[in-house]
Homo-oligomer: A and B are copies of this chain.
Amino acid sequence: MNALQTHGDESALTPLQARRLRIHTVHESVVFLRSDSPVCKAEGLGTQVRVAVRSGAREIMATLYQVEGEALGVDEAGLSESAWNQLAINDGDPVSIRHPQPVDSFSALRRRIFGLRLDDTSLRMVISDIAGGRYADVHIASFLAACTTLPLDLDETRSLTRAMVDTGVRLDWGAPMVLDKHCVGGLPGNRTTPLVVAIVAAHGLVIPKTSSRAITSPAGTADTMETLAPVDLPIERIRQVVEKEGGCIVWGGAMQLSPADDIMIRVQRALDLENDGQMVASVLSKKVAAGASHIVLDIPVGPSAKVRSAAAADHLEQLMKAVASDFGMEMVVHRSDGRQPVGRGIGPALEAHDLLAILEGAPDAPLDLTERACALAGILLEMGGKAAAGEGAALARETLADGRALRKFEAICEAQGGRRVPPVAPLRQTLCAPEAGEIATIDNRRLARLAKLAGAPETACAGVEMHVRLGEKVDKGQPLCTIHSASKGELEYAQAYAEANSDILLLVPF
């Protein structure tokens, strides 16, 4: 019989030397050990198991891969970039590796997968373990799928939102009214946020807007805005921007507003998956964390948008409003036409060019995007007491027309670090009408896929530029849209996809 050491006693663990391998694995931390490492033997660690990696006071969870041969020393622990950064160490620093504690919330995860509802406590445990990096991607994927197949109900959505809020920070802007705007997405090119912020802030209202990068779309607001100004600012810098200009348009991901959500979003992206409850918790946890008190929510509805019917919009609206009111937030929902893309550009830089055209009052600026931005800004101007009921949109239009919105937008860009010029794609391919006809339907989902195949959002200049709109009559050979790309490989794949899906823009004879 053996004298056993207690679970947390580190003296028992052989220390290894950290080695930076400069391998990018996105968020899932990876540690590489020699298969003949004494630690693998002593701890009985196989390949692709989850382990706890500790250096000093910091401990992270990582996936272990075993390596053979001389590339790694037998007393070395090779670390991926995410592990390296989270541990904040230097080459040669001692690290210890051991079995992780059993993950308490796995039994709750299991129950949810088997179709049982989770209560507040269980969801809190799940979210805390996800935020703590204790879930591998397969666990997160199974949680997301289970919460889609049996949709999260109102109670679960409330609990999930609360749990996400509690794992993140919570900002306070010292203002009695903090405005915010959100679109549930699904509509390519619907990039109203920079316009709304500029218009609303031009009237002295406070609108500190944090945006995400693309989840399943070819561009997120942060991706588009990044082609116009820096968006990755530390919180102190954001405070300075908002104090000076009343508004900002920044990336929220580095602020740890909702760390569990940031992790889940990466898996959602790999799965191309979103569900109502998850979306409500994701959006509202970030709004609460960002200190918002008044929100306008844009829900585009259309057969190939994220929300496909009035009934689906009703469900989402009810869920959003119920959970928002739990947190004392006032919310106005604006439903919009989701049958086709908005503006002309789909992709970060292409959308930025649309925004600049509108702000600068260019004669060919896309009117549909202008009108949507003014409708949303108008609601916020009314909520903020700057316009009487029903008069907000007109005031927003005026603010655009007289250049106040452009001046405010330029000032915000300067405050965030300086205006940038959006890039232009070096490779293009125009798709033309194979015959004359009328544009009967546009498939948003496959159009987004086309823009992504072209390289968006990773490649800022990539995407799709639209030349036609629903109901438009075109001649044979007339340009329908242009694929923009920065690499030959991507342009090829996008074109092959377009050829195999020639009904993305459905033409009917007239």
Please list the residues of chain A having a beta carbon within 8 angstroms of any beta carbon in chain B.
1-2, 4-7, 12-13, 21-26, 32, 35, 41-44, 46-48, 65-69, 71, 98-99, 102, 106, 110, 112-115, 136-146, 148-150, 267, 270-273, 427-430, 449, 453, 455, 458-459, 462, 485-493, 495-497
Contacts and interface: CB of A to CB of B under 8 A. Distances in A.
Given A67-B21, A110-B272, A149-B146, A2 B141 contact: no
Contacts of A71: 21-22, 71
The 9 closest A-B pairs by CB, nearest first: A43-B489, A142-B145, A145-B145, A22-B68, A138-B141, A149-B149, A141-B141, A24-B47, A44-B487
Contact of A44 (B22, B43, B489, B497): B489
A92 B430 CA distance: 40
B271 A139 contact: yes
Q: How many copies does the complex hold?
A: 2
A489 B99 contact: yes
6 contacts: A7-B493, A22-B68, A23-B66, A106-B272, A113-B149, A141-B142
A446 to B, nearest CB: 10
A67 B495 contact: no
Contact of A46 (B5, B47, B98, B458): B458
A189 to B, nearest CB: 21
A316 to B, nearest CB: 15
Contacts of A2: 427-429, 488, 491
A1 B430 contact: yes
Contact of A146 (B138, B148, B490): B148
Given A137-B137, A492-B5, A22 B149 contact: no
B495 A44 contact: no
A137 B271 CA distance: 10
Contacts of A487: 41-44
Given A22-B69, A24-B35, A141-B145, 9 more contacts: A4-B495, A22-B71, A24-B47, A44-B489, A99-B493, A102-B449, A115-B149, A139-B141, A142-B271
A485 B148 CA distance: 41
A281 to B, nearest CB: 18
Given A1-B429, A23-B65, A272-B110, A488 B12 contact: yes
A495 B2 CA distance: 11
Contacts of A271: 113, 138-139, 142
